[in-house]
Amino acid sequence: MATQTPVTEVLDLTVEKAPQRRWLEVLHDWVTTVDHKKIGLMYIGYALFFLVVAGFEALLMRVQLAVPNNHFVSPQVFNRLFTMHGTTMVFFVGMPILFGFGNYLIPLMIGARDMAFPRLNAFSFWISAFGGLLLYFSYFGGSGLYGAGSAPDVGWFAYAPLTAQVFSPGHSTDYWTLSLLLTGIGTIGTSLNIVATAICMRCPGMKMSRLPLLVWLYLVTSCMVFVAVSPLTAAQIMLMLDRYLGSHFFDTQAGGSAVLWMHFFWIFGHPEVYILILPAFAFANEIIPVFSRKAIFGYPAMVAASVGIGFISLSVWAHHMFAVGMGPGANTFFVLATMAVSVPTGIKIFNWLATLWGGKIRFTVSMMFAVGFLFQFLIAGLTGIMLSVAPFDWQLTGSYFVVAHFHYVLVGAILFMLFSAFYYWYPKMSGRMLSETMGKWHFWLFLIGFHLTFDFMHVPGLLGMPRRIYTYEADRGWMIWNMVVSSGAIFQTIATLLFVYNMVWSYFKGEVAGADPWDAWTLEWSTTSPPATYNFAKIPSVASRRPLWDLKHPEDPDSHYETTEKPGGEERP
């Protein structure tokens, strides 16, 4: 707990209202809260804390890899670093931050006062949070108490049988398994809450066909969580049984199968990527139209494409396993399924382009990050197509090309969109604008750093450099590329620190935002910034997809065009 309070404090809305209150009372408020906004902020603060931690781990790795045969860290430490970096970024940064925004925004956007299950919401947050703390306790705890364990070192996908007692004695792998079990529970709980909220808590008139796209995409994401995160939980239970009770699920010496773990993990692992990227799409769907001053192009197609991505992504997991020797039949199937994802994804990109087309684009920092997202997501999608071509993948998989590819998705697309979302919704959350000047510095520094790092990271992969090696041979010609890659990390670090500083500075000194600083169209901008505990004094009622457009343009409201003949007849929950 102590770890995230300083960060959430930054965003603490209550402080301003009652500066006299003692910090213990404030703490009590936050610990016992069931308010979706506070829980959302706690999620975000917690994720930001771990973003910095995992970013620091990445920095250490880049120092180690900058030159060949480096001795900056030992192999054992390096292996722990990449395991913790991957695990943290996926489970304790990506998921919580997206759920944080979801928690904060969904009830506001659908005109509700809270989530469907406020207490479950608090529970889900806390159990995810404790999961993260348990994982990091491994750094101190293991060796201190039993002299055997320490941080996990099996890689974030922990392939069997490296996780078996024989190859991983002590408790390090247990920390990994147990903490992921805990966050798994929290993730499923929050997703359940989001689905129930989006379906059951909509304000009058908010039909499914009028649901903001952000809410739609969170709905799809959450539904995917049930079928993706649960298999991971199941696999973790099996691994736990193997390690604690001596069962043989992944024990290759007793006839068990290492490949089964790979299947189970990637049945989770691939949809997970879409679970992370769909909320980024969700932000883009809200932010790009507002700054282009146009309605989103092809709302139904966007919904359909998201649902389509959701479904197809459940049948592509084995494209992580083209080199496993599944045979030509299975390989061919997964090639086709994987390529098929590119079609709905393409629709999304083109629809965003069409939204921009003919608009009047305002380049706020938020929009700049969104444009960066579009550009980088395009590249990430194209390298994704390269990886879907199984024979090409035989060369590329497990190499630095793959590392570059998925960092393009996770940093170039998701993190850029997250920054965009911060600049867009920070005024709503805090009541103050983030500084645009600092924001521009942040954007350009991060952009330069990002491209230095991840553009050039593709090359060593093409030159045969495998991932997860703590050092490499000098004669392979990888050094120059690794130097460039590592140098980009410096820019990214500075940019991120600037961003954190901007958040703190703007909280106290930023320009007062007002209810609707961006001239936007969704319901969250119709209430005060920050919103009152109850969100809306009176539950709103809507008649179109853009209720605030209707209010701002009474002479030409959307609702005149989006007519329906019978109320509620269109429902497809």
Partner 1 sequence: MFACHGLYDLAVIVSTAFGDNPTNIFAPVGTPAHSVFGLSMLVLWITGAIFVLVAGILLYVLVRYRSRAADGVTEQEPPQIYGSNQIELAWTVIPILIVVMLFLATARVIYTTEHAPKPADALDVTVIGHQFWWEYSYPALGVVTANELHVPVSDPKHMLPTYLTMSSADTDHSFWVPRLAGKTDVIPNRVNTMWIDPQETGLYLGQCAQYCGVQHAKMLIRVYVDTPAAFDAWVAHQRQPAVEDSRVAEGRAVFEHNACISCHTIRGTVATGRFGPDLTHVASRDTIASGAVPNTAANIRSFVDNPENFKPGALMPPMHLDSHDLDAVTAYLTTLK
Partner 2 sequence: MIEAAVIPNSPNEGWELPSRGVVGMVCLIAAEASIFIIFVVAYVFYIGKSVSGPTPKDVLTLPVFTTICLLSSSLTVHAAVSALRQSKRNLCSLWLAATVLLGGIFLAGTGREWYELIYHDGLTIQTNLFGTTFYSLVGLHATHVIVGLIMLMLALVFSLNGAMTHEHSEKLEVLSLYWHFVDAVWVVVFLVVYVLGR
Partner 3 sequence: MHSNHAQEEHGLQLPAPTAWPMVLALGLSLVLMGMVTDVAVSILGGLLAFAGTVGWFRQVLPHEVHEEVEVRTEEVTVTSNRTLAARLPKGPMHRKIIPVETFQIITGIKGGIAGGLAMTVPAGIFSLVKYHSFWYAVNLLAAGGFVSWAGASNAFLGEFHLQGLLAAIVIHGLTSLLVGLLYGAMLPMFPKYPIVTAGFIVPLLFTGILHSALNIVSPILNERIDWFWFVVSQIAFGLVCGFVVNLQAKVRTPQFQALPFAVRAGLHSNVEELVEEEPTDSDHEDTSR
Helix (H, G, I), strand (E, B) or coil at 425: helix
Q: Which two tokens stand for residue 437?
A: 């000047």
- Cβ at position 373, least distance to partner 1 in Å: 11
Could you give the CA distance from residue 277 to residue 270 in angstroms, rounded to a whole number?
A: 11
- Scan for tokens 């603060």, then name that residue: 45
Question: In sequence order, what are the residues at sequence separation of 6 or more whose Cβ sits closer than 8 angstroms to the Cβ of residue 42?
Answer: 4, 8, 30, 100, 125, 129
- If the CB atoms of residues 79 and 121 are measured against partner 1, the closer one turns out to be 79
DSSP string, 270-329: HHHHHHHHHHHHHHHHHHHHHHHTSPPTTHHHHHHHHHHHHHHGGG-GGGG-GGG---HH
Partner in contact with 308, chosen from partner 3, partner 2, partner 1, none, beta carbon below 5 to 8 Å by kind: partner 3
Could you give the CA distance from residue 44 to residue 30 in angstroms, rounded to a whole number?
A: 14
330 binds partner 2 per the rule CB under 8 A: no
Greatest pairwise CA separation for the chain in angstroms: 75
Partner in contact with 444, chosen from partner 1, partner 3, partner 2, none, beta carbon below 5 to 8 Å by kind: none
- If the CB atoms of residues 121 and 376 are measured against partner 3, the closer one turns out to be 121
Could you give the CA distance from residue 410 to residue 204 in angstroms, rounded to a whole number?
A: 37
Could you give the CA distance from residue 316 to residue 339 in angstroms, rounded to a whole number?
A: 9
Could you give the CA distance from residue 359 to residue 356 in angstroms, rounded to a whole number?
A: 5
- Cβ at position 336, least distance to partner 2 in Å: 22
223 binds partner 2 per the rule CB under 8 A: yes
Number of residues that bind partner 3 (CB under 8 A): 77
Binding mask 250-289 for partner 2 (x = CB under 8 A): ----xxxx--x---x--x----------------------
Which one of 220-228, 287-295, 351-359, 368-376 is the stretch in contact with partner 2 (CB under 8 A)? 220-228
120 binds partner 3 per the rule CB under 8 A: yes
Number of residues that bind partner 2 (CB under 8 A): 65
- Cβ at position 117, least distance to partner 2 in Å: 6
Helix (H, G, I), strand (E, B) or coil at 353: helix
Q: Which two tokens stand for residue 519?
A: 């001239």
Options 182, 335, 365, 548; binder of partner 1; rule CB under 8 A: 335
Options 147, 325, 327, 568; binder of partner 2; rule CB under 8 A: 568
Binding to partner 3 in span 163-222, by CB under 8 A: 171, 174-175, 178-179, 181-182, 185-186, 200-201, 209
475 binds partner 1 per the rule CB under 8 A: yes
Partner in contact with 208, chosen from partner 1, partner 3, partner 2, none, beta carbon below 5 to 8 Å by kind: none
Helix 400-407, helix 365-388: angle, nearest 10:
150
Binding to partner 1 in span 481-520, by CB under 8 A: 519
548 binds partner 3 per the rule CB under 8 A: yes
- If the CB atoms of residues 108 and 479 are measured against partner 1, the closer one turns out to be 479
- At residue 265, φ and ψ (nearest 5 deg) are -65, -45
Options 156, 262, 523, 545; binder of partner 2; rule CB under 8 A: 523
468 binds partner 1 per the rule CB under 8 A: yes
Q: Which two tokens stand for residue 123?
A: 């529970």
Could you give the CA distance from residue 568 to residue 209 in angstroms, rounded to a whole number?
A: 10
- If the CB atoms of residues 55 and 540 are measured against partner 2, the closer one turns out to be 540
Q: Which two tokens stand for residue 448?
A: 């330069």
202 binds partner 2 per the rule CB under 8 A: yes
Could you give the CA distance from residue 276 to residue 186 in angstroms, rounded to a whole number?
A: 16
- If the CB atoms of residues 134 and 288 are measured against partner 3, the closer one turns out to be 134
Q: Which two tokens stand for residue 223?
A: 């539904």
68 binds partner 1 per the rule CB under 8 A: no
Options 15, 67, 162, 201; binder of partner 1; rule CB under 8 A: 162
Options 40, 94, 102, 111; binder of partner 2; rule CB under 8 A: 111
| Identity of the residue numbered 185 | I
- 512 φψ region: left (φ > 0), alpha (ψ -120 to 50), beta (else): beta
Residue 83 · residue 152 · CB < 8 Å: yes
- Scan for tokens 């959701």, then name that residue: 310
The vertex-494 CA angle with 490 and 497, nearest 5°, equals: 140
Number of residues that bind partner 1 (CB under 8 A): 96
Which one of 276-284, 451-459, 488-496, 542-550 is the stretch in contact with partner 2 (CB under 8 A)? 542-550
Binding to partner 1 in span 228-257, by CB under 8 A: 252-253, 255-257
DSSP string, 206-263: --GGGS-HHHHHHHHHHHHHHHHHHHHHHHHHHHHHHHHH---TT-GGGT--HHHHHH
CA distances from 450 to 387, 484, 485 (A): 21, 11, 9
- If the CB atoms of residues 104 and 525 are measured against partner 3, the closer one turns out to be 525
- If the CB atoms of residues 294 and 451 are measured against partner 1, the closer one turns out to be 294
Options 141, 155, 170, 557; binder of partner 1; rule CB under 8 A: 155
Binding to partner 1 in span 253-292, by CB under 8 A: 253, 255-259, 292
Question: In sequence order, what are the residues at sequence separation of 6 or more whose Cβ sits closer than 8 angstroms to the Cβ of residue 294?
Answer: 355, 356, 358, 359
- Cβ at position 182, least distance to partner 3 in Å: 6
118 binds partner 3 per the rule CB under 8 A: yes
Compute CA 160 distance to the chain's CA centroid, rounded to the nearest angstrom: 26
DSSP 569: T
Partner in contact with 500, chosen from partner 2, partner 1, partner 3, none, beta carbon below 5 to 8 Å by kind: none
Which one of 2-10, 72-80, 465-473, 551-559 is the stretch in contact with partner 3 (CB under 8 A)? 551-559
298 binds partner 3 per the rule CB under 8 A: yes
Q: Which two tokens stand for residue 328?
A: 């030509």
349 binds partner 1 per the rule CB under 8 A: yes
Residue 146 host element (H or E): helix 118-146
557 binds partner 2 per the rule CB under 8 A: yes
Handedness of CA 78, 83, 89, 92 (dihedral sign): negative
- Tell me the sheet residues that pair with 455: none
What residues line the site for partner 2 (CB under 8 A)? Answer: 111, 116-117, 120, 188, 191-193, 195-197, 199-202, 204-205, 222-223, 225-231, 233-235, 237-238, 241, 245-249, 254-257, 260, 264, 267, 523, 526-528, 536-538, 540-544, 547-548, 550-551, 557, 559, 567-568, 573
